[in-house]
Structures are given as structure tokens and as C-alpha cells.
Structure 1
């Protein structure tokens, strides 16, 4: 019985040393340069990194991981686990525009985690050295490029004494509504959540054999829980093969995702809803002519609201090249539960509830509620009234609470937040629950996620979900970018709370700005019965997002109130 992923890596390296664990598409193209690593070599590299850490007495301390996309992150991460060192995945600064934000986040994480060592790629660490004047914290921290640690170091590796309660890594939350917090994930949490992913996604031994071990294709960032726990660690858990490439290469040419799936023919691949939308925008006849998506069994969709319109359009567009509607797999998870909480049924189309049937969504344009599936055995999901701490009846919207072995220990060195979030009790039920901060309802055992508790907009006593308003706005004009709209409320004085929409628009649409804002007002008014206080069109890429691509509505609201939005036209408040 494996006690950790370290045990499983040892097993795979022993039983199938030559099998490819991961391949990396250096240019993002399936027919370009490819780097790969076998299970045997992966184990050697992880042990070499681990031995380097052990020799410096770093077991039990925290190591920040700063890598560009590629295979070296995986070696560094598994090296930490193999040394009993707590890994802290970080986002390396990339480009001038992101340097300030990335540096601020990195310094915050280094201080919060009390990082003792930095593991990274050569270029990233060289860039950090050039920024030393802005990072005085580096003076007391050991740092090393793991590429420079020789394979021979693996010979002095000592197997760590790991238990289910040993801390594996800190997954810092993306901070969509608050400052990032370090979720304490244990080796027991990791193994249980890999069991959940395996169970819900149908990754059985027979299926893996049928797919010749080609489990996943992924462009998701590996420092984020969805990209790490699914494509990377579930592959390791099962001894399968995953194909990875850079998120930047996907964003530059979204069709690379589809061509990689077509070429490598994995069982599972997916991402946030916006990824499917980007593919739709690039679905040219020439692209379709070269695709075969018939082997794609699980097209998971999570990390942000799953939109029924996206599922419908994607399935219709790519049906001629073999994509099946039944492959769509909406799911729900969060870092505080390691990752996966619920998932759809393999080989069954997603469950939709039309807008007219769901009170909170009534009247929203194409806003059918999409089921995020059912919890795996051993995971309990309830919907509760967060104030009364009482379980709600089926169909009632409340806060989603979760219990099970995947729920993390708490937040790193934050007793108050841990008690508030991880120690909730429910009348009539034993044990403690994780309060997710997400709103939803249960119907026939399936979970429907409706929004974030803190993002809820209350106008004249009526609840409105910001993603519903955002969807209505985005659908009304082609110049508006999918997944790049933020809705929130502001104090309208005697009028009370009033809705505001900030939307990214194509640069060439500046001359149409007034017309577009009028269309947005009309669409939101017709669908939701709301008079929009203000509509601001901004340049592409300016709405704040988390590291996983979620809209930061609170940060957008703050920028709006401070007058710092990069508007393409002057706001026209009503």
C-alpha cells in the first residue's frame, strides 16, 4: 500500500523504467521539438534534487519552486516530496508588464511560508539575481538551479519517513476575493484526491491499457492546482503518460491544444471555460480538416463558471471531427479540498437545468445551470445556510460545504482563518466541514455551482450572480472578449447598491464604444430587469485575473473606484 506519491514513483521506476512519464512540446506544436522523461530518469532526477536538499539539512523546511513551463518543475516538485521538504509552487516573473505583480506576490509568499530555499530554472534564477535590489529577502535564502544538480547525487538519497499527515506542499490560493493563503496539503490529502480524480474520470486500468497509457494532454500552468493535481500528478499516480505544453503557447495559438489532442489521442484533457471559447474563435475550416477528436473521452471544464452556451457551441462546431457531446465533463474543486470535489459521469452528456427552472438564473440569457457532477465515494457535499449553519433542502441555494479525506489541514500559520473555513459544524451531522465560499444547490445528487458568496450582487433585495450579468453582456456584441467582463456593485447613495460592468473590448471597436455600452445596458436590462449604473469598456488584458485566469471582481471594482481603469472610452455614468 503506497503511503505517498514518492512510493508510487519508486514502484513505477522499478516496474516500467523506460515508459515515458511526461513529454513536453517545446514550441507548443506536436510536430516541433519534444522533450521527454521516463519513469526511471524521473526517479533519478527527483532523488538527486532530494539528496541535495537533505545534505543541506532542509528537510521539513519550505522550498519555493520558480520554473518556466517544462519538465524541470516536476523534477523539483518530486524532489521536494522525496526529501520531506515542503514544496511551495510559485509564479516566476515573466516579462516587464508582469514583473511588478509577480514580484509582489512572490515576496508575499516567501515571507508567509518562511521559505528557506528556492529551486528554479537557470534563466529564472538569473533574472532573479538581476532583480536582487528589489529582493533583499534573497540574501538569507539558498537558491539553486536544479538542472545543475548532477544525476550522481541520487546515490546519497535517503528515503524520508513520510506519513499521511506529513505536509507535502503549500498550494497558495489564487486570491480572487482575498489575499493568497497557503493551503496545507498533506501526503494523505494528495493520495485521496488522486483516488477521487481516478474514480470520477474513469481512469481504470482497463481504460489506461486501451489508451496505451496516453492519459492526458495539458497546457494548464503546473503551479496551479488544476494543472498540477490532474494532468501531472494523476499521471504519476497511475503510471501513465502525459503531454504538456506552455500556457503561453496555447494563448498564442489555441488550436495547438486541439492538434495535440488529435495527434496524441489522450483519454482526458481540459481547462477553464475560456479555453474552449478561445478554440471556438480559431475554429477555421482548415483547422477542422486536420483534426480527429474521436478518442477524446473526458473534456473536463472547471476552475470558473461552466457556461451552457460554450458546451453547446463547442460540441456543434467540433462534432464533424469526432468530438462527442458526451465527452464534456464539468467538474468542481478548490485548493482547500486539494482539488477535485465533484465530477460528471463519463460517457454521459452534462446535466443542464434551463434558466426558467432555476430561480436565481431566471431570465438570464442562455444561462442554463450546468451540473458539476457528483462527489466521489468518501466525499460529502452539502449545501448550507452559512448564517444559521443548517443544511438546506434540495434545490435551495446556499454555501457549498465539503467533508472528506481530501480536505486539507488548513491555512499555513493562520489559525483564525483555518477555524473559520475548515472547522464548520452542521446541525444534525457529525464531523467538521470545509466552507468553500461558493454558492450552489443540489438536485438529484448533482451539484450546481452558481457563484461566489462574496461576489453576490444584491439590488433592491434581489440576488444577482455576477457571471450571469457578465454572460448577458458578452453575448450581446462580438467586440466583447469572452471571459473578460467583470460585474460588481457600487454604492449609489440614496439609490442604494447599483450594478457596474467593466468589459474588455477589441481595440478596433473604440469608435463604436458608445453604441456597445448602449447594447450592454439594453441586454442586461432585458435579461435581468436591472438599470446598469455604469458600463466601462477597457483595453484587452487589463481586467485583473488570478494566476488561474479567474476574474478578480474586487480588484476591478477597486480600480474602477480609484479611476485607474484603462478605458477605451470615457465612462458614461447614468
Structure 2
């Protein structure tokens, strides 16, 4: 029985050394330059990097991984695992606009993880050398471009003594509601979550053979858990083949994703909800005529709220290219559970509960709750009252708690947060010895299926009623074509709080007290002249759907809403920017 992914890589390299493990579309285009690596070559490169780490006595220490998109990251990551070194995936600074944010996060991660070595691509390592004055920490850290480690170094590799409890890597959370924390993921966690993913997504030996091992196409960033644990590691877990390309190439031209699906015809591919919306924006008749998506069996949708309207429109539009609604696979997961917690059926369409039936979502325009599926075998999901910590009955909204072998060990060097988040036990009639992970997410169970409704810390409470920011954001985005999907933040401020101009007054007479909702939304540049109309439409939509009077609507420039490294809206940071008056406002904010 395999003890780790290192064992499985060794097996695949022995049994199918010439099979392609990964191919990388250098330009994002199927007809452009393509790099690929076989299982034999992957094992050799991983062992060479591992041997380099072992010879320097780094086993057990942390290695920061800073790579541009490409195959070298995978070699570096598996090299760490093969050496018994704890990998720490990071985001390398790229371009002037991202430099400051990426540099700040990188410095924080290096310090928190106490990294002893940085592995990266040649250009990244060279760039770090040029940043020495901004990164005095680097004087204490060895930096190496792994391409420069010779192949023959693999000859001195020693198989590490790994157990299920050995730490594989630190997955730093994206920080949507707090500062990033390092989730301690063990080799046992990894193997269990890959097992769960394999079962839930139907990646059986027969299916892999039917697809001639073409399992994944992915543009997802590999430093994030969705892109790493899914397409990259499930591929090596099963000995299959994945086609990868850069997230930037996808964002520049979303149709590249569809073209790769059409060309390589994989079983599984997916991304956050916004990715499907981007494809819809580029769905021309010519594109549809040239696509065949009939082999796309699992189109997973996760990492941000899944929109019923998106599922419907995508199915209607791309049904002409053979896409089936049963292919949609809404799922739920988080870094603290390694990745996957629940996943939808691969043989039935997603479960939708109309707005009128969902209680907290009642009245939200086209906001049917979308089921995120059921837990994998060995995983337990309960809904608990976050205050009383008692199990709630089906249909009641509470905090999502998770237990199972995929739940990570805890937070790196943070005993208090680990105890509060990873060591919860139920009280009341359902009390027991099972330790649960408190996810901080809100949801309910219905007939065994999970429906996610929002984040506990993001919940908006006005006049004693709970409102989910995702619902308000959806209502706002649906009010006008120029509002960018997934680029709206809803939060509440005290009636006496400041606004985007540093001193907004609440209400008609300026005397409104208590919490009031604020909407900050990015709009397309060509719609700037319609700002006043868009503001009025947002107010009207939220008033009709949720019975709320919006304190303030602030329209901002594209790309300026605070987001995590994985693209999630940072509502708390948006709120802080609003109160500080630092939002990139288009025109004058409209006040109530």
C-alpha cells in the first residue's frame, strides 16, 4: 500500500515510464509550443531535486516554491516530497502592478514558515537577487533555480522515511477574512483527499482507460489548493495525463480553455464560477460551430459561490457544442480539509432549490440555492449552531463542520487557532468524542446534500435579519450588463460610519443609525457614462429582492476590488478601503 505520492510516482515511473504525465501549453494555445514530461522523466527530475535538498541537510525544513506557471513547479514540489522537505507554494512577484502585493505576501510567508531554502525558476531567482535590498531575509536563505540541478544528482537520492503523519506541505490560506495561515497538510491527508476526489469524480480505472488517460485540462494556479490538489496531484495519484496552461493566458483569452477541451477531450476540467461567465461572454456562433464538448464528463465549479443562473446559461449556450447539464459538478472544499469535502453526482444535473424554498435566500432574483453535493466516504459533514455548538436539523442554516482523514493537522505554529478551528466537539444530544473542523462557512443540509450559503464572518445582520453578502452581490450584478461577474463586494457599516468620500451621511436626513448595507462594484470602462443609472438599478434590485435600503453604492475601476491570491472577494478589506476612502472610485459615489 502506498504511503505517499512519492511511492505512487515511483510505481508509475516503473510501470509506464514513457507515458506523458503533464503537457504544458506555453502560449496557452493548442497549436503553439508544447512542453511535456513523462513519468520516467518526472521521477528522475524529482529525485535530482530531492537529492540536492538531502545533501544540504534540509530534510524536515521548509522550502518556499516560487515558480512561474509551467512544469518546473511540479518537479520542485514532488522533489520536496521526495526529500522529506516541507513544500510551501508561493506566488512569485510578476509585473509592476502585482509586485508590491506579491512581495508583501512572500515576505510574510517566508517569515511565518521559517523557510530555509527558496526553489524557483531561473528568472524568478534572478529577480529575487535584484530585490535583495527589499528582502534582507534572503541573506539567510539559499536560493536555487531547480533547472540548474543536474539530472545525474538523482543517483544519490535516498528514499525518505515517510509516514501518514509526516508533513507534506504548508498550504497557506488565501486570506479572504483574515491574514493567511499555513495549513499543515500531511501525506496521509493528501492520500485520503485524492481517494475522495477519485471516488466522487468517477476517476475509475475503466474511465481512465476509456479516455486514454486524458484526465484533466487546467489553467488553475498551481500554488492554490484547487489547482494543485485537483488537476496536478490527482493526475500523479492515478498515473494519468493532464494538460496545463497559465491562468494569465486563460484570462487574456478565455476561449483557450474551451479550445483545449475540444482538442484533448479530457474527462475532467473546471474552475470558479467566474470562469464559466467569462466563457459565456466570448461565446460567438463561430466559436460554438468549432467546438465539441460532448466528452467533458465532469465540469467542477467551486472556490466561490456557484450561481444557478450561470449553470443554466452555460448549459443553454454550450449545449449546442455538446455540453450536457449533467456534466456540471458543483463542489465544496477548503484548504483546512486538504481540498474536497463534498462533490455533486456525475450522473445527474446539479440540485437547485428555488429561492422561495430556501428561507434565507427568499426573494433573491434568480438566486436558487445550488447543491454542492455529498461528502466522500469517510468524511462527515454536520451543520452546527456556531454559538451553542449543537447539531442542527436538516434545512436549518448553521456553520459547516467537517471530520475525516482529509482534515489537516492544524495551523502552522498557531496552537490557539488550531484548537479553536480544528478541535471542535458537538455539545448537547449529539455530543461525542469526534473532533471537527469549524470551517467558518454557513450552509444547510437537505437529504444529505450540502448547500453553502456564505461566510460566518461576512454575514450581514440588519434589524435582526440575516443577509448573505453573496445574495446581495448577485442581485447587484444582475441589474446591469456592465457590472463585472464576481467583482462586487457587499458589507455593512454602522449608520454613523464614514464612506468612500471619507464622510458619507446615512439615510435621507443623515440620522440613520445601526448597520446598513454598502455595495462596491466594478464596472466596465465603456459604461462610465451610465454610472448614475447603474447605481439606481443596484439600489432598486436590492430593495426589491431583499427589502433593504442600501446606504451607499460605490462604482470602482476594473481590477481594483480587493481579492485573495485565488480570486475571492475580500469583503473585510473592501470595507476597510471604503471607510478609509481609498477605493478607486469612478466619478462621485452616490449617497442615499
What TM-score bracket applies, with the shorter chain setting the length? over 0.9
Instruction: Name the counterpart of 1:232.
Output: 232
SS in 2 for 1:217: strand
Deviation at 1:462, TM superposition (A): 0.6
For 2:547, the equivalent position in structure 1 comes to 529
Aligned equivalent of 2:538? 520
Gaps of 5+ in 2: 497-511
CA contact (8 A) 1:67 1:120 kept: yes
Question: For residues 261 and 342 of structure 2, what CA distance do their matches in structure 1 show?
Answer: 24
Distance 1:444 1:334 in 2: 22
Question: 2:144: which partner in 1?
Answer: 144
- The counterpart of 2:585, out of the listed 557, 567, 571, is 567
User: What CA distance in whole angstroms lies between the structure 1 residues aligned with 2:296 and 2:350?
Assistant: 15
Other-structure match for 2:557: 539
Q: Secondary structure at the match of 1:365?
A: coil
2:470 match: 467
1: CA distance between counterparts of 2:303 and 2:150? 38
After superposition, give the CA deviation of every residue in 1:430-466 in whole Å (9 maximum; x if it has no partner): 3100000000000000000000000000111110000
Match of 2:454 in 1: 451
2:6 match: 6
Q: 492-501 vs 109-118, which deviates more?
A: 492-501
Instruction: Say if 1:536 and 1:569, in contact at 8 Å, map to a contact too.
Output: no
Match of 1:89 in 2: 89
Question: Is contact 1:24–1:34 with CA below 8 Å preserved after alignment?
Answer: yes
SS for the counterpart of 2:163 is coil
Compute the displacement of 1:210 (Å).
0.4
Distance 2:290 2:63 in 1: 44
Q: Aligned partners of 2:587 and 2:494: how far apart in 1?
A: 23
Alignment match, 2:353: 353
Deviation at 1:7, TM superposition (A): 0.1
Cα shift readout 1:274-329 (whole Å, capped 9, x = no counterpart): 00000000101111111000000000000000000000000000001100000000
User: Which residue among 485, 488, 504 is the counterpart of 1:485?
Assistant: 488
Among candidates 488, 501, 513, match of residue 495 of structure 1:
513
Residue-by-residue CA offset, 1:390-427 (whole Å, 9 max, x unaligned): 00000000000000000000000000000000000012
2:503 is matched with none
1:262 is aligned to 262
1:15 counterpart residue number = 15
Q: How does 1:317-466 map to 2 (within 5 A)?
A: 317-427=317-427, 428=430, 429-466=432-469
**Hey, which bits of structure 1, 4+ residues long, moved more than 3 A?**
none
Q: Show CA shifts across 1:357-402 (max 9, x none).
A: 0100000011000000000110000000011010000000000000
Report the alpha carbon displacement of residue 214 of structure 1 after superposing the two structures with TM: 0.3
What are the ranges of 5 or more consecutive residues in structure 1 without an aligned counterpart? none
Aligned position for 1:31: 31
2-structure distance, mates of 1:479, 1:42? 45
Moved more, 248-257 or 488-497: 488-497
Q: What's the RMSD between the two structures over aligned residues?
A: 0.6
Structure 1: distance between partners of 2:290 and 2:23:
22
1:38 Cα shift?
0.1
**TM-score, normalised on structure 1?**
1.00
CA–CA separation in structure 1 for the residues paired with 2:315 and 2:529? 34
Q: Can you list the C-alpha shifts for 1:34-72, whole angstroms capped at 9, x where unaligned?
A: 000000000000000000000000000000000000000
Within a 5 Å distance, the mapping from 1:91-106 to structure 2 comes to 91-106=91-106
Q: Distance in 1 between matches of 2:262 and 2:361?
A: 36
1:69 aligns with 2:69: yes
Counterpart CA distance in 1 for 2:77 and 2:49 is 9
SS at match of 1:361: coil
Counterpart of 1:296 in structure 2 is 296
1:238-277 map, 5 Å: 238-277=238-277
- Give yes or no for contact 1:183–1:409 (8 Å, CA) kept in 2: yes
User: Across the two proteins, how many residue pairs are aligned to each other?
Assistant: 574
Q: Which residue of 2 aligns with 1:52?
A: 52
User: 1:142 Cα shift?
Assistant: 0.4
Shift of 1:507: 1.0
State the alpha-carbon separation in 2 of the partners of residues 59 and 570 from structure 1. Answer: 56
Q: Give the whole-Å Cα distance in 1 for the aligned partners of 2:23 and 2:315.
A: 28
> Is the aligned partner of 1:550 residue 2:553?
no
Deviation at 1:500, TM superposition (A): 0.3
CA distance in 2, matches of 1:444, 1:486: 32
